[in-house]
Structure 1
Amino acid sequence: MDLIGSGGLIVLIASIVVAVLILLAILLIFVRSWYKVAKADQALVVVGRTQKGVGGSSSRIAVITGGGALVNPLTQRAEMISLRARQIKIEPTAQSSTGVTVNVNGVALVKIGSEPELVRRAAERFLSQDAAIEQFTTEQLEGALRGVVATLTVEQLMMDRQKLSDQIAEGIKHDLLSQGLILDSFQIQGITDKNGYIDALGASEVERVRREADVARINAAREVKARQLATDEANLIEQTAYDRNTAAAAAQVGRARAEADQAEALERAEREQAVLLQGAENKQAQLDADIKKVADADLYQRQRSADADAYGEVKAAEARAEIAAQEAAATRLRAEAEADAVRVTGEARAKAIEAEAEALSRNQEALLAQRALEALVPMMTEFARGFDKVGSITVLGGAGASQHIAGESAAGMRATFDAVEAATGINLRDIIQGQATGRGVAQGLRDDDASSKVPAAAADVAATPATEASPQA
Structure 2
Amino acid sequence: MFGWHVPAPDQAMLISGGKSRGEAGLPFRIVTGHGAFVVPVMRRVTYLTLSLMESVIEEACVTQQGIGLAVKGVIAFKVGSDQASIAAAAQRFLADQDRMSVLTGQIFAGHLRSIVGSMTVEDIIRERQKLAEQVLEASKLEMANLGLVVDSLQIQSIDDRGSGYINSLAAPHQAAIQQAAKIAQAQADQAAAEAQQASAQKQSEFARATAVKQAEYQSEIDQAQATAQQSGPLAEAKAQQAVLEEQAKVAAKNAELREAELVAEVVKPAQAEAERIRLLAQADADRTKLSAQASAAEGRIALDQAIIAQLPQMMQAAADGLANANLTILNGTDGLNDAVAQLAAQGSTILQTVMQGLAAHHDVGQQGGAGDRTDPPALGPGPDDDAAR
Identify the TM-score tier after normalising by the shorter chain: 0.5 to 0.7
> Which structure shows the bigger proportion of residues in helix conformation?
1
- The CA deviation at 1:233 is 4.1
Partner Cα distance (1:226, 1:79) in 2:
78
Give the Cα separation in 2 of the matches to 1:46 and 1:156. Answer: 50
User: Among residues 112, 119, 122, which one is paired with 1:145 in the alignment?
Assistant: 112
Distance 1:124 1:252, change over 3 A: same
Q: Structure 2: which amino acid aligns with 1:177? A: A
* Matching residue of 2:54: 87
Q: Does 1:46 align with 2:37?
A: no
**Equivalent position SS for 2:158:** strand
Letter in 1 for 2:174: V
Give 2:83's aligned amino acid.
P
Counterpart residue identity of residue 255, structure 1: Q
Give the distance between the partners of 1:91 and 1:168, measured in 2 at CA.
14
Which residue is equivalent to 2:136?
Answer: 169
Counterpart of 1:98 in structure 2 is: 65
1:45-95 CA distance string (max 9 Å, x none)? 22364555xxxx675543222321112356644221112222211111111
Contact 2:69 2:158 in 1 (8 A): yes
Q: Secondary structure at the match of 2:179?
A: helix
Aligned match of 1:197 in 165, 168, 175?
165
Match of 2:3 in 1: 34
* Paired residue secondary structure (1:87): strand
- Which residue number in structure 2 is paired with residue 403 of structure 1? none
Equivalents in 2 of 1:243, 1:170: separation in Å? 78
Q: Distance in 1 between matches of 2:21 and 2:226?
A: 115
Query: Which of 102, 123, 134 is residue 156 of structure 1 equivalent to?
Result: 123
User: Residues 160 and 228 from structure 1, CA distance in 2 versus in 1: closer, same or farther, beyond 3 angstroms?
Assistant: farther
For each residue in 1:431-462, what CA deviation from the matched residue of structure 2 results, as whole angstroms up to 9, or x when unmatched? Answer: xxxxxxxxxxxxxxxxxxxxxxxxxxxxxxxx
Unaligned runs of 5+ in 1: 1-31, 273-473
Partner of 2:187: 219
Indicate the residue corresponding to 1:117 in structure 2: 84
Question: Which of residues 24, 29, 32 is equivalent to 1:62?
Answer: 29
Kept after mapping to 2: 8 A contact 1:118/1:180: yes
Alpha carbons 2:61, 2:117 under 8 Å: kept: yes
Query: In 2, Cα distance between the equivalents of 1:197 and 1:261?
Result: 91
Against the structure 1 CA distance between its residues 260 and 174, is the aligned structure 2 distance closer, same or farther, given a 3 Å change threshold? farther
Higher relative contact order (Cα pairs below 8 Å, separated by 6+ residues): 2
In structure 2, what is the Cα distance between the partners aligned to 1:164 and 1:254?
Answer: 85
Tell me how far apart the structure 1 counterparts of residues 25 and 204 of structure 2 sit (CA, whole Å). Answer: 92
How far the C-alpha of 1:142 sits from its partner, in A, is: 0.4
Would you say how many aligned residue pairs link Structure 1 and Structure 2? 239
**Does structure 1 residue 107 correspond to structure 2 residue 107?**
no
Q: Distance in 1 between matches of 2:232 and 2:48?
A: 106
How far, CA to CA, are the matches of 2:54 and 2:233 in structure 1? Answer: 98
| Structure 2, unpaired ranges of 5+ | 241-389
CA distance in 1, matches of 2:12, 2:144: 17
TM-score, with structure 1 as normaliser: 0.44
